[in-house]
């Protein structure tokens, strides 16, 4: 494995949920420890299952892994870190400032930005204080800081006084409140991340076109801020030997080959490794050791028979949606779960039934046109370009709030507008224009704003104040975009996930976030299910059996209603295949 060659002191594993970061980080730590190195494995993953992998309780303390001499582990709980972080910031002003102001501050500190910064705050010391990790030769991090987090940390410390003086209305600076004292330490930590002699970033992906596009964006984002020592690991490759003569398995091999052949050019320059798909769950030392074994374990011959399967299908959800004749349908979920495909299939099926539909996306990867590869009468397709919308928003803010500022104030405002969360507000403005059409037709939205983004915008009033200024007093008589999203008669939110542990957990967190914003998800859609597809390949039969627990959890713990979409032999691209996906009925054995 190239990413293990001459391993530096620190290694970070990063990637979207469900691609196998934790398993690879654990396997790497074990491999180094087995070679006689002293290794500390640190997880900052909100869905961390490191303790489960090793069968021990870990938590926020360094714990030796008894069965692997030389290996210790530490789990930083990002939620606990974020709560302690919020208490540290809000505590001194509670009872001093009005309750409404306190609530606004708490909301600004409630989202993913704060969790990322708080987690970074926790492990910064591990990067910069050699005495804390002096007993270890290697520190392996499961879940690296994103380019988003590092760009936030690089914003200037002078912005606090700028906001206190009432000169700005920052988009995403709340999470950085009170951090000036740690800026020197943060600067040292970012420098350590960018030092190729000390740090290596391992980008983890799957052999899927959408996932490879996502990881290419991450590569470019991290490279742009100086983190150049990157390796790519493509996890979960189905071998031809394991596929055998099974039609579905052979089709999956063909799709993986096509995705790898079409991967973004930027990824070709990265040192790349591939890891074979395993039939078993990666829990326990024996299983994790096999992940990076030179000789992959053969698929078990006594895999469970294809499970009997009965679940609602996507077509049943579409029937219920179509009965309303109009409305806003938002498909939400993490990257790589198939939101764009399902949004396109849903929109095409509604249009096929003679209903007017506007299908729109704010996906930066912009592969909606490639997925559709055609159209139908009654279907309008648009794309909200985040880059163009952000540029337009910046110009608007500088022309209004920035007009009366002095040179220093304007410079700070321009710096704030380079914050990554500025894009959220800009895209929300464009999104709000599109969803107004839902009173007369269907609007199907791929990649909607998150619950935290909505609450942040609503709490600060940034969007609503701007909307009132632009459109005048008549807006007061209309419902706001937030009210439209909260109204179940007008909006249906579909959470898209996969039948795997991490994607389901991340979707449940998103659901909690939306509920906090007063938005109740209407349904869950479990996409690309092997259990629903059926297969005779032993490896896929075992994986289908593993899916059942997650499908059961969605059905009985998370969703009010749900549907399962089978993994298809043919890539669902083009009008005919998308319509077939929307019409497909899962056979009940």
Cα 222 to Cα 231: distance, rounded to the nearest angstrom: 12
Which own/partner contact pairs does 378-382 have at CB distance under 8 Å and 24+ positions apart? 378/351, 378/354, 379/347, 379/348, 379/351, 380/356, 382/358, 382/434
Is 222 in the same domain as 356? no
Would you call 146 helix, strand, or coil by DSSP? coil
Is 352 in the same domain as 244? no
Is 324 in the same domain as 380? yes
Number of domains comprising the chain? 2
Give mean pLDDT, residues 340-345.
93
Give the CATH number, domain containing residue 358. 3.40.50.300
Is 261 in the same domain as 122? yes
For residue 163, pLDDT beyond 50: no
Return the minimum-mean-pLDDT range out of 57-61, 286-290, 311-315, 455-459.
455-459
14, 45, 378, 419: the catalytic one is 45
172 part of a folded domain: yes
Cα 295 to Cα 276: distance, rounded to the nearest angstrom: 10
Is 133 in the same domain as 268? yes
**Residue at token pair 């204080």:** 129
Tokens of 189: 């930590």
18, 335, 336, 338: the catalytic one is 18
- Other Cβ atoms within 10 Å of 296 Cβ, number: 17
400 part of a folded domain: no
Give mean pLDDT, residues 181-203.
82
135 part of a folded domain: yes
Is 318 in the same domain as 279? no
405 part of a folded domain: no
Work out the percent of the chain whose per-residue pLDDT is above 70. Answer: 81
Structure-model confidence comparison of residues 16 and 251, the more confident one: 251
Is 240 in the same domain as 282? yes
Answer yes or no: are the C-beta atoms of 202 and 233 closer than 8 Å: yes
Spell out a b/e string for 225-250, using b for 16 or more CB atoms within 10 Å of the CB, else e.
eebebbbbbbbbbbbeebbeebebbb
142 part of a folded domain: yes
Is 242 in the same domain as 209? yes
Give mean pLDDT, residues 195-205.
91
For residue 325, pLDDT beyond 60: yes
110, 502, 508, 535: the catalytic one is 502
For residue 107, pLDDT beyond 90: no
The pLDDT value recorded for residue 451 is 58
Structure-model confidence comparison of residues 225 and 207, the more confident one: 207
Is 139 in the same domain as 201? yes
Task: Check if 18 is active-site.
Answer: yes
431 part of a folded domain: no
Tokens of 140: 């392996």
For residue 147, pLDDT beyond 50: yes
Cα 73 to Cα 29: distance, rounded to the nearest angstrom: 9
Cα 288 to Cα 28: distance, rounded to the nearest angstrom: 9
For residue 377, pLDDT beyond 80: yes
* Average pLDDT of the chain, as a whole number: 82
Is 266 in the same domain as 355? no
Return the minimum-mean-pLDDT range out of 276-280, 408-412, 527-531.
408-412
15, 17, 20, 70: the catalytic one is 20
Phi first, then psi, for residue 326 (nearest 5°) are -165, 170
User: Which of the four pLDDT bands, split at 50, 70 and 90, describes residue 149?
Assistant: low
Task: Check if 21 is active-site.
Answer: yes
Tokens of 503: 């994607």
Return the minimum-mean-pLDDT range out of 130-134, 176-180, 251-255, 319-323.
176-180
pLDDT in tens, 540-561: 999 999 899 999 999 999 999 9
The pLDDT value recorded for residue 155 is 56
15, 16, 23, 143: the catalytic one is 23
Cα 266 to Cα 259: distance, rounded to the nearest angstrom: 14
86 part of a folded domain: yes
Q: Which of 15-19, 124-128, 332-336, 438-442 has the highest mean pLDDT?
A: 438-442
Answer yes or no: are the C-beta atoms of 468 and 355 closer than 8 Å: no
The strands making up 357-361's β-sheet, listed across from edge to edge, are 379-383, 357-361, 442-446, 327-332, 491-498, 523-529, 562-566
Task: Check if 453 is active-site.
Answer: no
User: Which of the four pLDDT bands, split at 50, 70 and 90, describes residue 53?
Assistant: confident
Look up the pTM and report it.
0.79
The pLDDT value recorded for residue 454 is 63
Choose one of 259, 291, 323: the last residue of a domain.
291
The pLDDT value recorded for residue 174 is 54
Q: Which of 113-117, 184-188, 300-304 has the highest mean pLDDT?
A: 184-188
Is 178 in the same domain as 105? yes
For residue 165, pLDDT beyond 80: no
Helices (H), 130-227: 147-153, 159-164, 183-194, 209-224
Domain range spanning residue 173?
A: 2-291
Name the helix (H) or strand (E) containing 348. helix 339-352
pLDDT in tens, 404-456: 888 888 887 787 777 666 777 788 788 888 888 998 999 999 876 665 556 55
Task: Check if 502 is active-site.
Answer: yes
Tokens of 166: 């009432």
Give mean pLDDT, residues 216-230.
86
Task: Check if 20 is active-site.
Answer: yes
For residue 496, pLDDT beyond 80: yes
User: Which of the four pLDDT bands, split at 50, 70 and 90, describes residue 344?
Assistant: very high
Give mean pLDDT, residues 344-354.
95
Q: Which of 113-122, 257-266, 296-305 has the highest mean pLDDT?
A: 257-266
The pLDDT value recorded for residue 70 is 95
Work out the percent of the chain whose per-residue pLDDT is above 90. Answer: 37
The pLDDT value recorded for residue 73 is 92
pLDDT in tens, 382-397: 988 888 998 998 898 8
Closest CA to 222 of 26, 13, 8: 13
276 part of a folded domain: yes
Closest CA to 140 of 158, 150, 126, 152: 126
Return the minimum-mean-pLDDT range out of 75-79, 106-110, 327-331.
106-110
Structure-model confidence comparison of residues 257 and 85, the more confident one: 257
Q: How far is CA 456 from CA 46, 92, 450, 516, 571, in A?
A: 21, 22, 10, 11, 38
Burial class (CB in 10 A: 0-12, 13-18, 19+), 181: exposed
Q: Which residues pair with 43 in a beta bridge?
A: 75, 142
For residue 220, pLDDT beyond 70: yes
The pLDDT value recorded for residue 588 is 38
Structure-model confidence comparison of residues 589 and 237, the more confident one: 237
Name the helix (H) or strand (E) containing 327. strand 327-332
Q: Which of 326-330, 331-335, 433-437 has the highest mean pLDDT?
A: 326-330
Is 239 in the same domain as 340? no
14, 22, 447, 453: the catalytic one is 22
Q: Which of 437-441, 480-484, 572-576 has the highest mean pLDDT?
A: 437-441
């Amino acid at each position: 494995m190239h990413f293990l060659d001459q391993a530096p002191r620190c290694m970070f594993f990063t990637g979207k949920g469900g691609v196998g970061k934790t398993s690879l980080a654990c396997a790497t730590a074990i491999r180094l420890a087995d070679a006689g190195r002293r290794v500390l494995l640190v997880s900052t993953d909100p869905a961390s299952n490191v303790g489960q992998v090793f069968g021990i309780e870990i938590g926020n303390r360094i714990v030796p892994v008894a069965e692997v001499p030389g290996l210790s582990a530490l789990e930083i709980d990002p939620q606990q870190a974020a709560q302690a972080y919020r208490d540290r910031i809000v505590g001194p002003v509670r009872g001093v400032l009005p309750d409404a102001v306190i609530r606004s501050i708490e909301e600004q500190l409630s989202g993913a930005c704060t969790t990322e910064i708080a987690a970074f705050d926790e492990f910064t010391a591990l990067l910069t204080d050699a005495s804390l990790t002096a007993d270890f030769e290697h520190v392996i991090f499961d879940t690296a800081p994103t380019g988003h987090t590092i760009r936030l940390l690089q914003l200037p410390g002078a912005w606090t006084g700028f906001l206190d003086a009432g000169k700005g209305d920052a988009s995403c600076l709340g999470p950085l409140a009170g951090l000036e004292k740690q800026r020197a330490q943060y600067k040292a930590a970012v420098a350590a991340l960018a030092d190729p002699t000390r740090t290596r970033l391992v980008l983890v992906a799957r052999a899927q076109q959408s996932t490879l596009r996502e990881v290419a964006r991450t590569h470019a984002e991290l490279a742009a801020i100086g983190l150049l020592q990157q390796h790519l690991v493509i996890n979960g490759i189905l071998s031809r030997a394991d596929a055998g003569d099974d039609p579905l398995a052979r089709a999956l091999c063909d799709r993986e080959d096509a995705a790898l052949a079409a991967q973004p050019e930027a990824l070709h320059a990265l040192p790349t490794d591939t890891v074979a798909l395993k039939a078993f769950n990666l829990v326990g030392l024996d299983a994790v050791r096999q992940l990076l074994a030179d000789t992959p374990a053969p698929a078990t011959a006594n895999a469970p028979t294809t499970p009997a399967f009965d679940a609602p299908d996507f077509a049943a959800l579409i029937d219920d949606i179509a009965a309303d004749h109009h409305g806003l349908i938002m498909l939400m979920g993490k990257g790589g779960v198939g939101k764009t495909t399902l949004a396109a299939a849903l929109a095409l099926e509604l249009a096929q039934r003679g209903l007017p539909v506007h299908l729109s996306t704010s996906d930066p990867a912009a592969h909606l046109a490639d997925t559709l590869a055609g159209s139908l009468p009654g279907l309008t397709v648009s794309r909200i370009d985040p880059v163009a919308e952000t540029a337009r928003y910046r110009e608007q803010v500088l022309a209004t709030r920035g007009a009366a500022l002095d040179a220093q104030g304007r410079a700070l405002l321009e710096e704030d507008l380079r914050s990554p969360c500025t894009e959220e507000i800009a895209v929300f403005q464009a999104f709000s224009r599109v969803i107004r059409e839902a009173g007369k037709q269907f609007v199907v939205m791929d990649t909607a704003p998150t619950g935290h983004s909505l609450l942040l915008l609503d709490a600060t009033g940034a969007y609503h104040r701007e909307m009132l200024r632009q459109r005048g007093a008549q807006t007061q008589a209309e419902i706001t975009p937030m009210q439209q999203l909260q109204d179940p008669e007008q909006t249906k939110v579909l959470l898209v996930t996969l039948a795997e542990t991490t994607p389901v957990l991340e979707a449940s967190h998103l659901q909690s976030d939306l509920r906090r914003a007063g938005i109740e998800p209407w349904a869950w859609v479990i996409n690309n299910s092997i259990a629903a597809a059926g297969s005779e390949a032993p490896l896929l039969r075992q994986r289908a059996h593993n899916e059942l627990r997650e499908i059961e959890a969605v059905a009985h713990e998370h969703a009010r209603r749900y549907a399962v979409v089978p993994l298809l032999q043919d890539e669902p691209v083009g009008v005919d295949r998308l319509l077939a996906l929307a019409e497909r009925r899962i056979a009940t054995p």
